[in-house]
Amino acid sequence: MNIGVAILGLALLVFIHEAGHFFVARAVGMRPRRFYVGFPPAIAKVRRNGIEYGLGAIPLGGYVKIPGMHRPAPSDLDAHMRRPLEEAPQLAGPIERVKRTLGAGDFDGVAADVDALERCLASKPLTPAAAKAGTRGVRDLRDALGRDAYWRQSTWRKVAVILAGPAANIAAAIVLLVALFVAGVPTGAERFVEEVVPGTPAAQIGIHPGDEIFALNGRSVTAADIPRVIRASEGEPITVTVVRQGGSLATLPAARPVRMDGAYRLGFALAPRYERFGPLAATRLAAEETVRVTEAIGVALYDVVSGRDRNAVATPVGVVQGSSQALDVGLRHYLQILALISLSLALLNLLPLLPLDGGHIAFSLLEGVRGRAVGRAAYERASVVGIMFVLFLFAVGLSNDITRLRGG
């Protein structure tokens, strides 16, 4: 149950991220072609007003397909046209004409060559797979040449669309934190028992939820004293005196604490004490917490790259595991972890590396300053560096996840 809720929480954060890209793209005049949560194959999909909305079978992310993320290049045809060209060599001429026109930078004049290629494709007896690949190649090229293509837009529009994804995650993190501060954050514990673990010494001597721990070994204790005294017992018997819900005082039989999770415990949990804040104070505290966590994530990334400490990195597997464990503690703790994940997702995406959002922002700003587009080769080289870094983080995170799952 908890695993399912954790996966849904991660999917929600991905949805928020992609929705940021999607809605801002539409607001500034770009029309996305796809909006997916999860990666293909699609579990379910529907098309509305020329946009395909889908749910992918692989719940490790999501994407919004905005046409023309790069200026069309001759190499764009190679992937889609390889199979049609093998089956119909006569396509070589029309394909080469499109490539030459693209190579010359005539993005308006190439439309006639694309039309000729499409007619040629339709006239050849291709297998269904080859015909589908060719049709997709022509469609993608037309989308990339359209007036709403990303590469044709002004710098501020491009930056706004890409920045919207991380910004949506940052906003979600702040909203979650504000809600937590308004609902109340634990600042300590009361002396009242909230939960008794079955089969533990506490259950065996008759401690019940709602009891107030009044004394240990005949000495009155505060909430802060209780765990300290039990841990310091080193397993020696402890006499517990409680105040029952009706107000009566009861001294229970002595019990030996047992070692659990690395410390001596009797097996009960005290009710937490919460401090609640008004909306303005909660917003201020949420902003301060966001800044603090941002600094901590920056330090953690530096530690990973420098090799000083790589234990903080996790893949989606580790994220789901951690979220599930947070649910065991309580809903408040889970929402706090969800806010941290949302913030981490935003900051990771803002790294100035392709294919991350930060890389697209950096290149858009660079093109705006230069007044002309960066060549496709530069994009591809930068993407190789970015992909290698992401794979490095994934490898480190997967190693950490495996160690945690094995109990190391």
Q: Are 136 and 82 in contact (CB under 8 A)?
A: no
Please indicate, yes or no, whether residues 293 and 225 belong to a single structural domain of this protein. Answer: no
The average pLDDT across 29-41 equals 87
In the prediction, which pLDDT does 260 show?
82
- Rg of the chain (C-alpha set): 29
Please indicate, yes or no, whether residues 348 and 401 belong to a single structural domain of this protein. Answer: yes
Query: Is 306 within the bounds of a domain?
Result: yes
Measuring CA to CA, which residue among 201, 338, 297, 212 is closest to residue 256?
201
Q: How far apart are CA 315 and CA 347, in angstroms?
A: 15
Report the DSSP beta bridge partners of residue 62. 37
What's the token pair of residue 52?
């395909």
Query: Is 20 within the bounds of a domain?
Result: no
In the prediction, which pLDDT does 313 show?
61
Please indicate, yes or no, whether residues 321 and 253 belong to a single structural domain of this protein. Answer: no
pLDDT over 60 at 1, yes or no: no
Measuring CA to CA, which residue among 67, 28, 38, 27 is closest to residue 51?
67
Give the model confidence (pLDDT) of 280-314 as tens digits.
Answer: 999 999 999 899 888 888 887 777 777 776 666 65
The average pLDDT across 40-63 equals 84
Please indicate, yes or no, whether residues 396 and 286 belong to a single structural domain of this protein. Answer: yes
Give the model confidence (pLDDT) of 346-385 as tens digits.
Answer: 988 999 988 899 999 999 999 889 888 888 788 888 888 8
Query: Is 34 within the bounds of a domain?
Result: no
CB atoms within 10 A of CB 266: 26
Q: Are 301 and 396 in contact (CB under 8 A)?
A: no
Please indicate, yes or no, whether residues 259 and 300 belong to a single structural domain of this protein. Answer: no
Query: Is 14 within the bounds of a domain?
Result: no
User: Where is 400: in which H helix or E strand?
Assistant: helix 376-405
pLDDT over 80 at 265, yes or no: yes
| Residue range of the domain that includes 309 | 277-405
pLDDT over 80 at 317, yes or no: no
pLDDT over 70 at 388, yes or no: yes
Q: Give the position of tokens 């190679």.
A: 78
Q: Are 180 and 335 in contact (CB under 8 A)?
A: yes
In the prediction, which pLDDT does 170 show?
95
108 class by beta-carbon count within 10 Å (0-12 exposed, 13-18 middle, 19+ buried): exposed
The average pLDDT across 391-401 equals 71
Q: Provide the CATH number for the domain around residue 239.
A: 2.30.42.10
Q: How far apart are CA 185 and CA 126, in angstroms?
A: 65
pLDDT over 80 at 266, yes or no: yes
Cα-based distances in Å from 71 to 140, 141, 145, 159, 369? 12, 10, 8, 16, 17
What's the token pair of residue 177?
């934190």
Please indicate, yes or no, whether residues 202 and 240 belong to a single structural domain of this protein. Answer: yes
Give the model confidence (pLDDT) of 223-251 as tens digits.
Answer: 889 999 999 998 899 999 999 888 889 99
Q: Give the position of tokens 């409680």.
A: 242
Q: Which of 95, 124, 145 is the last residue of a domain?
A: 145
pLDDT over 70 at 185, yes or no: yes
Please indicate, yes or no, whether residues 140 and 201 belong to a single structural domain of this protein. Answer: no
The average pLDDT across 179-208 equals 88
Count: domains in the chain = 3
The average pLDDT across 312-327 equals 56
Query: Is 204 within the bounds of a domain?
Result: yes
pLDDT over 70 at 325, yes or no: no
Residue 232 has, within 13 A of its CA and on its CB side, a CA count of 7
Query: Is 266 within the bounds of a domain?
Result: yes
Residue 271 has, within 13 A of its CA and on its CB side, a CA count of 13
CB atoms within 10 A of CB 279: 10
CB atoms within 10 A of CB 260: 12
In the prediction, which pLDDT does 272 show?
82
The model carries a pTM of: 0.78
pLDDT over 90 at 338, yes or no: no
Q: Which of 237, 253, 275 is the last residue of a domain?
A: 275
Please indicate, yes or no, whether residues 246 and 284 belong to a single structural domain of this protein. Answer: no
CB atoms within 10 A of CB 3: 12
Please indicate, yes or no, whether residues 284 and 379 belong to a single structural domain of this protein. Answer: yes
With a pLDDT cut of 90, the percent of the chain lying above it is 43
Q: Are 397 and 318 in contact (CB under 8 A)?
A: yes
Query: Is 150 within the bounds of a domain?
Result: no
Please indicate, yes or no, whether residues 270 and 282 belong to a single structural domain of this protein. Answer: no
Give the model confidence (pLDDT) of 105-140 as tens digits.
Answer: 888 889 899 999 999 999 989 899 999 999 999 999
Query: Is 135 within the bounds of a domain?
Result: yes
Q: Which of 88, 123, 145 is the last residue of a domain?
A: 145
Number of H helices, E strands in the chain: 13, 10
162 class by beta-carbon count within 10 Å (0-12 exposed, 13-18 middle, 19+ buried): buried
Please indicate, yes or no, whether residues 137 and 239 belong to a single structural domain of this protein. Answer: no
Q: Going along 276-334, which residue ranges are E strands?
A: none
The average pLDDT across 157-166 equals 96
Measuring CA to CA, which residue among 304, 283, 290, 75 is closest to residue 179?
283
User: Where is 215: in which H helix or E strand?
Assistant: strand 212-216
- The rounded mean pLDDT for the chain is 86
In the prediction, which pLDDT does 240 show?
93
The average pLDDT across 49-72 equals 85
The average pLDDT across 195-201 equals 91
Q: Are 264 and 257 in contact (CB under 8 A)?
A: yes
Please indicate, yes or no, whether residues 123 and 238 belong to a single structural domain of this protein. Answer: no
For the CA atoms of 296, 171, 12, 157, what is the dihedral angle to 10 degrees? -110
Comparison of pLDDT for 101 and 38, the residue scoring more: 101
What's the token pair of residue 348?
């990771």
Q: Which residues are within 8 A (CB) of 352 and not within 5 positions of it... i.e. 6 or more apart?
A: 358, 359, 361, 362
The average pLDDT across 317-331 equals 56
